[in-house]
Structure 1
Amino acid sequence: MSTETVAKRLVALCREGKFEEAQHELYAKDAISIEPQEMASGPMGNAKGLKAILEKGHHFQEAVEQVHMSEVSEPVVANGWFSVAMHLDATMKGRGRTDMHEICVYHVHNDKIVQEQFFYDVH
């Protein structure tokens, strides 16, 4: 599977809200997930390995009270890398309504995502 194929599949699944399915299908078992430095610790911080990434996703989903809108851009692909812009307008438990914009960068090796890194402002 080419990087472009992986990128398009990830975008399609994310647009359907199938984040965990995307991780099971497209991520390497030893993949890593990197958050901005201010968010690196804690249950939704950096994670190593697919099991930890799935757990991180569960923590995030549990924190979401209601999704008002979710958008994922078309991917930009360069060799073994791709990026997408994501926008989530959601009500978060204990935090209220949050409008999140981020750039997500993925590294693909041997047809699997081996790294994801998120860039967003932390307020």
Structure 2
Amino acid sequence: MNTEAIAKRLVQLCREGKYEEAQTELYAKDAVSIEPEGLPPGALGNVKGLEAIYEKGRQFQAAVEAVHGGSVSDPVIAGNWFSISMQLDITMKGRGRMDMQEICVYQVKDGKIVREQFFYDLG
């Protein structure tokens, strides 16, 4: 698949809440996942490898008490890169309800996502 096809498929699966299926189908085994600098202690940070990305997603899901809504934008594509904006209205265990908004940037190489990086306000 080319970058546009991968981007559209990722958006489709994310809109369906099938995040791990998206990772299995679209990510390289040695993909990296990068969070913003300055995360608080105990936060899910940077990881390398598909298994670590799965675990990061599972830990996030385990911290979610309820999902009230959300959205995923259409992708913006530039060469081997694409970005989407994501919004989640969720209640986190012990932290209450919050509106999470982020820009997600992805790099594609050899038909797979090799890098994801998230940009959002901390706190």
Give the TM-score range, shorter chain. Answer: over 0.9
Q: Which amino acid aligns with 1:65?
A: E
Corresponding pairs, count: 123
After TM superposition, give the deviation of residue 58 of structure 1 in Å.
0.2
After TM superposition, give the deviation of residue 86 of structure 1 in Å.
0.3
Instruction: Please say if 1:121 is aligned against 2:114.
Output: no
CA distance in 2: counterparts of 1:62 and 1:43, whole angstroms:
13
CA contact (8 A) 1:91 1:98 kept: yes
Instruction: Please say if 1:85 is aligned against 2:101.
Output: no
Matches within 5 A, 1:1-123: 1-39=1-39, 42=42, 44-123=44-123
Give per-residue Cα distances to partners, 1:13-53, cap 9 Å, x unaligned: 00000000000000000000000001287461101000000
Q: Where in structure 1 are there 5+ consecutive unaligned residues? A: none
> Share of identical aligned residues, percent?
67
Q: Which amino acid aligns with 1:49?
A: G
The alpha-carbon distance between structure 1 residues 41 and 82, as it changes in their structure 2 partners (threshold 3 A), is farther
CA contact (8 A) 1:43 1:59 kept: no
CA contact (8 A) 1:35 1:117 kept: yes
Q: Which amino acid aligns with 2:48?
A: K
Across the aligned residues of Structure 1 and Structure 2, the Cα RMSD in angstroms comes to 1.2
CA distance in 2: counterparts of 1:109 and 1:61, whole angstroms:
28
TM-score scaled by length of structure 2? 0.97
After TM superposition, give the deviation of residue 102 of structure 1 in Å.
0.2
CA distance in 2: counterparts of 1:96 and 1:62, whole angstroms:
14
Q: Which consecutive aligned stretches of 4+ in structure 1 deviate over 3 angstroms post-superposition?
A: 40-43
Q: Which amino acid aligns with 1:82?
A: F
After TM superposition, give the deviation of residue 70 of structure 1 in Å.
1.2
Q: Where in structure 2 are there 5+ consecutive unaligned residues? A: none
CA contact (8 A) 1:34 1:40 kept: no
TM-score scaled by length of structure 1? 0.97
Q: Which amino acid aligns with 2:38?
A: E
Q: Which amino acid aligns with 2:54?
A: L
